[in-house]
Amino acid sequence: MQKQLAKMKQSLFDQGYLDEQFIQLEELQDDANPNFVEEVVTLYYRDSVRLVQNIEQALEKNPLDFAKLDSYMHQFKGSSSSFGAKKVKTECTQFRDHCRAGNADGCKRTFQELKKEYATLKKKLEVYFQFARQAGPVEKACRPK
Amino acid sequence: MAGEMAGNSTKKKISALVVDDDRLVRRIHGMLLTRFGMETNAVENGKEAVDLFASGKCYDLVFMDMEMPIMDGLKATQALREMGVSSTIVGVTSRTQEGETQAFMEAGLDACWEKPLTRDGIISLLDQVAKKLL
């Protein structure tokens, strides 16, 4: 089961969903905090709901307040990169580039992509953590190739 | 040994303060520092950090986010240095624009790193901090 778990993780890395930061967090897990990464990810998805709503509302305004949007996205990027959400982070960066260029359509388009990546990652990690709980604790965090 | 108080056999833990408005970042950085054996505390903004030091609390290491409500990292760092705080203050920011980092450094930081904190970064810092404590 550990092998399957490692394969799942490898796949998430190969497809670019996660980066090294995820491994750094897994390495912090110990007997006292065996599900630290799952806890972090749960916290992320809980805390970011309000932020997503704020951004959606802000994108409905006319004209757009690019400074406000940039500030929201700065927060979003910070949280997303803190646990290694690579694709989400990339979309955040793209969005901020559009904000700086004053490109409203670009912001709206990128935000749709961001939401897709955000939702996809959530589903994939839910499966991963479910599997991880069944597989039990590993002695060391396994680094993907 | 680094960290031991003179004339006392009790080993003193290095104390660290995480200053960040993002709950997730406080949790992650707090955990990372705790795993390195540090006594860790966390606050949500620069004003809370300044108030802590003003109340007499002291931390060997401060990890200061740049953008925070109420009082940002730059102002908090300036305030701490004006109070005479000599703790190692590391700016931690998602902003990578040079101008902003420079202004933050000039406020009185010892270093400025990009988020998130990493094990290697902390290891390099601990050596510095341990020497300061001797």
Task: Find all residues with CB under 8 Å of B48, minimum gap 6, and list them.
Answer: B19
What domains lie within chain B, and their CATH numbers? Answer: 15-124 (3.40.50.2300)
Please determine, for residue B45, whether its predicted confidence score (pLDDT) is greater than 50.
Answer: yes
pLDDT at B83 over 80: yes
Give A-chain residues touching B67 at CB under 8 angstroms: 71, 74
CB atoms within 10 A of CB B121: 16
User: Would the CB atoms of B27 and A25 count as touching at under 8 Å?
Assistant: no
In order, the DSSP letters of chain B are: -TTBPTT--SBPPPEEEEE-S-HHHHHHHHHHHHHTT-EEEEESSHHHHHHHHHTT---SEEEEES--SSS-HHHHHHHHHHTT--SEEEEEES---HHHHHHHHHTT-SEEEESSP-HHHHHHHHHHHHHHH-
- Chain A nearest-CA residue for B21: A75
pLDDT at B1 over 50: no
Structure tokens at B29: 């950085």
Instruction: Say if residues A95 and A111 touch (Cβ distance below 8 Å).
Output: yes
Q: What tokens were used for A142?
A: 């396994």
Tens digits of per-residue pLDDT, A52-93?
999 999 999 999 999 999 999 988 998 999 999 999 999 999
Could you say which DSSP state residue A85 is in?
B
If you ran DSSP here, which 8-state letter would residue A131 be given?
Answer: H
Q: At what angle do helices B23-35 and B119-133 cross, to 10 degrees?
A: 60
The residue of A26, A38, A82 whose CB has the most chain B CBs within 10 angstroms, and thus the best one to mutate to test that interface, is A82
Count of CB pairs separated by less than 8 Å, A with B: 47
Is it the case that residue A94 has pLDDT exceeding 50? yes
To the nearest whole number, what is the mean pLDDT of chain A? 91
Q: Kindly state the DSSP code that residue A29 receives in the 8-state scheme.
A: -
Chain A CB within 8 Å of residue B35 CB: yes
Q: Is the pLDDT of residue B93 over 80?
A: yes
Helix (H) or strand (E) holding A88: helix A86-100
Q: Which of B23, B31, B67 sits opposite A28 (nearest CB)?
A: B31
d(CA A27, nearest CA chain B) in Å:
9
Contacts of residue A24 in chain B, CB cutoff 8 Å? 32, 116, 118-119
Residue with tokens 């203050």: B89
**What does pTM read for this prediction?**
0.84
Helix axes B23-35, A66-82, angle to 10 degrees: 30
pLDDT bin (cut points 50, 70, 90) of residue B115 is confident
Pair B90, B113: CB distance under 8 Å: yes
Torsion sign (Cα): B126, B106, B25, A91 = negative
pLDDT tens sequence across B7-35: 444 567 889 999 999 999 999 999 999 99
Closest by CA position to A96, among listed A85, A110, A80, A83: A110
CB A54 within 8 A of CB A84: no
